[in-house]
Structure 1
Amino acid sequence: MFRRERSIPLRGSAAALCNNLSVLQLPARNLTHFGVVHGPSAQLLSAAPEGVPLAQRQLHAKEGAGVSPPLVTQMYESDGSVMVYWHALDAGDASLVQAAFARGIAASGHYVCVGTWSGQVLVFDIPTKGPNIVLSEELARHQTPISDIATEPAQGQDCMADTVTADDSGLLCVWRSGPKFKLLTQIPGFGVPCSSVQLWQGTIAAGYGNGQVRLYEASTGTVHVQIDAHARAICALDLAPEVGKLLSAAEDTFVHIWKLSRSPEDGYIEVEHCHGECVPDTQLCGARFCDPSGSSFAVTGYDVAEILRFSSI
């Protein structure tokens, strides 16, 4: 069971975008960073464990070298204090009525993958020290805009999939990261956008616009489980890696928590529903666990000027 805790106020509400909440826990400093997109800016907040906001910063897209802000991918230090790199997105193939944007971002080792409206995934090589970030590769397997990207450590196994990219057609591409990313398999869509995706122990959790959550074997694309989880489009998924908890949030105002485990007999994924939480009259647009054990989570909603927090009883 979970109970609602003290909310964290925002200067503006979260934009109505899927996966519109990021959480970075810093146990050594007893802090949690939150990130929310609002219009053309990003709001970064740091808070103490009890939810007391300590600092808040707004990052606005900065113009550079004659490039307009919507066509720039920018990278900052975790607290938003310093912009360490910017990259101009090539909008040459975009029509006058087509929006040009970056959507979906995830880190795999020292690589950062960024999805784009064209279906390309930009892979940036991030050095251990210094700001010498370079664009190392462009992955071009998707034909529609990227919707989300997920990664997990490969744990030294050469054959293990550690990156999955999703798009608006529902197509999933499964990769092994490295100096050259290798495509391992493709999981076709079924006419519904895949809005959010996660990886856990070689299992892909994908949330769709029809409210379904599907669990796939990453190496083969085999469907393990299909859950009719929500009545409306899913806006966010998250995983607590230490315990295998899956969080799903949707436009139906509900957040659900599921427990994933592997059957010892055949290795298939088993799912148990653990908790459901309704946020009345709220179009949810982001949800994340606040710790790797899944004992707390936070959600954002469109036109709601606060981050709602919940913790286990």
Structure 2
Amino acid sequence: MYHKEKSIQIKNSASALYNNLSVLRIAPRQLTYFTVVHANVVNMVSASWDGLNYSHRQLQSKEPNVATSTSLIMQAAFCVLPSRELLVLTSQKGIQMYESDGSIMVYWHALDTPETPTEQAVFARGISAVWENYICVGVSSGAILVFDIPSKGSNITLSEVLEEHNQSVTDMASECSGSQECIANLVTADDGGNLCVWKSGEEFQLLNKIPGFDMSCSSVKLWKGTVVAGYGTGQIRLYEAVTGILHAEVNAHARWIYSLDIAPFSGLLLSAAEDSLVRVWHLSMTPETNTVEVAHLHNECVTDTQICGAKFCDGDGYAFAVTGYDLSEIIRYIQS
């Protein structure tokens, strides 16, 4: 179903972090941006669709008034809002927001660090754009910071802090376009596997809390009112977002799942794990019974590689890209 394309070389190898790949498709310019985190650097590649031109940029973990920073970056993710696109970096010190091409930093938010050191590490992780003008970021305390994003400029404000998780946030995802009336449009996950389902608005409203089973939920997605969650057990679970009803449980991988992604137009689901496997599934809704079915479509084995990031390169799932720990390349696959 998929075959391997020419890989994209990157300046540094990928760190062993959850969801360590972000992809942004720039259709008018026929470009795709890729970002991969390595220690305190984000490697950014701009690739032309014909595969002939590549340009590289590296973003450092910056801090105000500090010349160099050794603060480790935890995640980099593109956030697409109706009025603008931003690249968001989270680290042990704070949250940075850049224009999508990485050229200009438009906002910096410092994390609250305790005056006396504690055993609890301080970091931000879990990033999602939420319709129509919010970007949400999780932190190690379990709080979720909600930023109000203007259509242009740097007048970004912290509008709300959501405090439902009591363990470190691992990942979050949103769904919705303005044409749809979504009941639930944000799901957040933590180290205990607990999931919180939210509805955004002037104030964010907690709709449901789906309890975990003491196994970290490392990656989460939201599709047509269904939460798709990947766990350290190698399992994928599908829940109805608003009620928390379990639709399906799939023993998808033999090792820890590091990344999930969904192609929203086709219902294809990508899962990638420490077992060196990337799997493609198909999700289908049955409106009569309000259930979701999962079918396995494709396997790719990236030999001797601990996979740490996997993303579709388009909304149909025509192509996807993969990163692996200590690998200085982005491996691409395209439908045959």
Once the two structures are superposed, residues 257-303 of structure 1 have per-residue CA deviations (whole angstroms, 9 ceiling, x without a partner) of: 11101124312001111101100000000000001000100000001
Report the Cα offset of residue 53 of structure 1. 4.7
Q: Which residue of 2 aligns with 1:216?
A: 239
Q: Which residue of 2 aligns with 1:97?
A: 119
Aligned CA-pair RMSD: 1.6
| Counterpart Cα distance in 2 of 1:117 and 1:156 | 34
Q: Which residue of 1 aligns with 2:176?
A: 153
Q: Which residue of 2 aligns with 1:123?
A: 146
Cα distance change on mapping 1:51 and 1:112 into 2, 3 Å: same
Q: Which residue of 2 aligns with 1:63?
A: 63
Indicate if the aligned counterparts of 2:63 and 2:93 stay in contact, CA closer than 8 A.
no
Work out whether 1:84 is the aligned partner of 2:106.
Answer: yes
Q: Which residue of 2 aligns with 1:6?
A: 6
| Counterpart Cα distance in 1 of 2:52 and 2:270 | 24
Q: Which residue of 1 aligns with 2:129?
A: 107
| Counterpart Cα distance in 1 of 2:123 and 2:155 | 24
| Counterpart Cα distance in 1 of 2:141 and 2:57 | 30
Indicate if the aligned counterparts of 1:244 and 1:260 stay in contact, CA closer than 8 A.
yes
Indicate if the aligned counterparts of 1:208 and 1:234 stay in contact, CA closer than 8 A.
yes
Q: Which residue of 2 aligns with 1:74?
A: 96
Larger mean CA deviation between 104-113 and 155-164 belongs to 155-164
Aligned to 2:265, which of 224, 228, 242? 242
Report the Cα offset of residue 42 of structure 1. 0.8
| Counterpart Cα distance in 2 of 1:196 and 1:128 | 29
Q: Which residue of 1 aligns with 2:19?
A: 19
Report the Cα offset of residue 156 of structure 1. 5.8
Indicate if the aligned counterparts of 1:45 and 1:53 stay in contact, CA closer than 8 A.
no
Work out whether 1:166 is the aligned partner of 2:161.
Answer: no
Q: Secondary structure at the match of 2:244?
A: coil
Report the Cα offset of residue 131 of structure 1. 1.1
Q: Secondary structure at the match of 2:16?
A: coil
Q: Secondary structure at the match of 1:91?
A: coil
Once the two structures are superposed, residues 185-226 of structure 1 have per-residue CA deviations (whole angstroms, 9 ceiling, x without a partner) of: 000001110000001110110000000000010111110000
| 1:228-239 correspondence runs (5 A) | 228-239=251-262
Q: Secondary structure at the match of 1:28?
A: helix
Report the Cα offset of residue 47 of structure 1. 0.3
| Counterpart Cα distance in 2 of 1:222 and 1:93 | 43
Q: Structure 1 residue runs of 4+, over 4 Å off?
A: 65-69, 154-159
TM-score (norm 2): 0.90
Work out whether 1:180 is the aligned partner of 2:203.
Answer: yes
Q: Secondary structure at the match of 1:214?
A: strand
Aligned to 2:315, which of 288, 292, 312? 292
Larger mean CA deviation between 259-268 and 119-128 belongs to 259-268
Once the two structures are superposed, residues 81-138 of structure 1 have per-residue CA deviations (whole angstroms, 9 ceiling, x without a partner) of: 0000000100228843322111010001210000111101111000012210000011
| Counterpart Cα distance in 1 of 2:116 and 2:56 | 35
Q: Secondary structure at the match of 2:95?
A: strand
Once the two structures are superposed, residues 58-100 of structure 1 have per-residue CA deviations (whole angstroms, 9 ceiling, x without a partner) of: 1101221579753121100101100000001002288433221
Cα distance change on mapping 1:159 and 1:45 into 2, 3 Å: closer
| Counterpart Cα distance in 2 of 1:93 and 1:158 | 44
Indicate if the aligned counterparts of 2:176 and 2:182 stay in contact, CA closer than 8 A.
no
Indicate if the aligned counterparts of 1:171 and 1:194 stay in contact, CA closer than 8 A.
yes
Q: Which residue of 2 aligns with 1:141?
A: 164
Work out whether 1:259 is the aligned partner of 2:282.
Answer: yes
Report the Cα offset of residue 234 of structure 1. 0.2
Aligned residues between the structures? 313
Structure 2 portions without partners, runs of 5+:
72-91
| Counterpart Cα distance in 2 of 1:12 and 1:35 | 11
Cα distance change on mapping 1:283 and 1:159 into 2, 3 Å: closer
Q: Which residue of 1 aligns with 2:76?
A: none
| Counterpart Cα distance in 1 of 2:155 and 2:58 | 25
